[in-house]
Copies of this chain bind each other. A is one copy, B any other.
Amino acid sequence: MATTTIANISGQNYIGNKLSVTGKITYKTYNPELQEENSIPFYEASDNEINEAVSLASKAFDSYKTFSGKKKAEFLNKIADEILNLGDALVTTYCSETGLPEGRAVGERTRTIFQLRSFAELVSSGSWVEASIDTGNPDRTPMPKPDLRRMNIPLGPIVVFGASNFPLAYSTAGGDTAAALAAGCPVIVKSHPMHAGTGELVASAIIKAAKETGMPDGVFSNLNSSGIEVGQKLAEHAQIKAIGFTGSIKGGRALFDIASRRKTPIPVFAEMGSINPVIVLPDALKTRGEELAKTYANSITLGTGQFCTNPGLILGIESDALDNFINHLSDEIVKINPTCMLHPQIKKAYHLNKEKILSEKQVSIKTTYKQDIANENYASQTLATVSGEDFIQNANLHEEVFGPFSLIVKCKDKGELEKAISSLDGQLTGTILGNNLEISEYNYLLSLLNNKVGRIIFNGVPTGVEVCPSMVHGGPYPSSTDSRFSAVGTSSIKRWVRPFSYQNWPNELLPDELKNENSLGILRLVNNKLTDQPI
């Protein structure tokens, strides 16, 4: 693997279609497997470059917002093609900047391609605009009824902040970007500094696709930055209309605060932290404790625990079966070889946050991987236990430890388990491990859990987020800043649009989606009936 020199990467920003360097600050990415810096310096975007990117995006919006679904689909599909055309260079660069294995890079690329093509299909078929038509009635009394026609239209230029843990699927051309471009919004990506090379390669694929499919210059820009200033300036810019972010609660909240304090506040969709509670019910523990322990040892350590759906909290009711489960889980988890984290900073944060929890006097370490690990970027997986009462009273124990760590809460009875669930912050997911017969005894607990999460899983693991219309990835704060939207799946396009209504508008001047003839053949609510027929 060529890791210290990365082919075809300039270290520059894409300001619309142009590579650009006007700033002086540089930084490098890091190879955590080799424990050394990669060679290419990346140039942080300057204030001029930021303003130029936003100005181009605003101009691009004038035409891009009017493009047909088919034309946007062509662009999205071409991005997918061009990402594939990057070939091995993308995989090699990805691995050199993340410490993640090649299989993960390839898998994440497949997911990214799938997302782009899913959105292409969505906007090509067109019904996603939720067109609604109420025809007028000039004879109604006491007032004539106007003709009203509604559809979703794009918000305007969007800023996307890439995720450290998903350099492809939730970064440069990831879910947020694909959804925003599909909606008709130009996108400016604030590249994640830990994988700036991967970001630039993907950006080059987007720019190539934009040129090949006749998109306006500025429909996409990619800005480098190692600190917070570039992101802050973008979030404050009057012409930016919304923000997508995947990352820490601290980072997401900072952006939310900036966006909320603006003269004209803008929506921020930040997908942030979650400890993803897993509730193990007594019968399941008795009959399947060993099997569940194996499954969970794998889920906790998957991707070195660096998933937002990592199960960081396991709750059960005290019993021999629970103790057996914990013992088996401990045995299984230390059988797994530790793996590399994304970056020394992330490893450091893992260690610090874990130690913070372990230093609480009520918490006991159950097991931790103790063998010497030659590479200090490798994370040793750890399990700890605490009583239900102590967990409920100590909010510090409710904080996410990003990495292969899980805290097991031993509640004395069902009532305490319910209180523990009630005490939780908002979560992306909640999981119930139970047998079909026993679950009906836990209706109230399920009702409490339901208030806290965006997705509820039965006898499975929270890791592994399927990309499909029925997925919800998001949930009550702080798992996301707006639980009314999902960050994964085609429904995530709704974050970047607003409804817009035409009253008594001449048919020939309406967008195709709302014309009488319905030449696009989309589903529309016409006088409260869903139909794909013309009027």
From B260, B486, B497, B499, contact of A486 by CB (8 A): B499
Task: Check A466 against B146 for contact (C-beta < 8 Å).
Answer: yes
**C-alpha spacing A458/B148, complex, angstroms:** 11
Q: Given the known A-B contacts A477-B265, A499-B486, are A505 and B470 also in contact in the complex, defined by CB atoms under 8 Å?
A: no
A1 CB–B CB distance under 8 Å? no
- Interface mask (A476-492 → B, CB under 8 Å = 1, otherwise 0): 11100111111000010
Which of chain B's residues have a CB closer than 8 A to the CB of A132? 469-470, 491
B454 touches A501 (CB 8 A): yes
Chain A residues 120-169 with CB under 8 Å of chain B are 132-134, 143, 145-146, 148-150, 153, 155-156
Q: Is the CB of B523 within 8 A of A483?
A: no
User: Are A267 and B456 within 8 A (Cβ)?
Assistant: no
Query: Which of B66, B458, B503, B528 sits near A456, CB closer than 8 Å?
Result: B503
The answer to whether A153 and B450 have CB atoms under 8 Å apart is: yes
Q: Once bound together, how far apart are the Cα atoms of A263 and B225, in whole Å?
A: 29
Q: Residues of B contacting A344 with CB < 8 Å?
A: none
Q: Are A148 and B460 in contact (CB under 8 A)?
A: no
What B residues does A497 contact at CB under 8 A? 484
A505, B265: Cβ atoms under 8 Å? no
A198 to B464: give the CA distance in the assembly, Å: 53
Out of B260, B458, B500, name the residue touching A472 (CB < 8 Å).
Answer: B500
7 contacts between A and B (CB under 8 A): A65-B447, A149-B470, A256-B265, A455-B501, A458-B502, A471-B501, A474-B499
Name A's B-contacting residues (CB within 8 A): 62, 65-66, 132-134, 143, 145-146, 148-150, 153, 155-156, 256-257, 260-261, 264-267, 425-426, 436, 439-440, 444, 447, 450-451, 454-460, 464, 466, 468-472, 474-478, 481-486, 491, 494-495, 497-506, 509, 523, 525, 528, 530
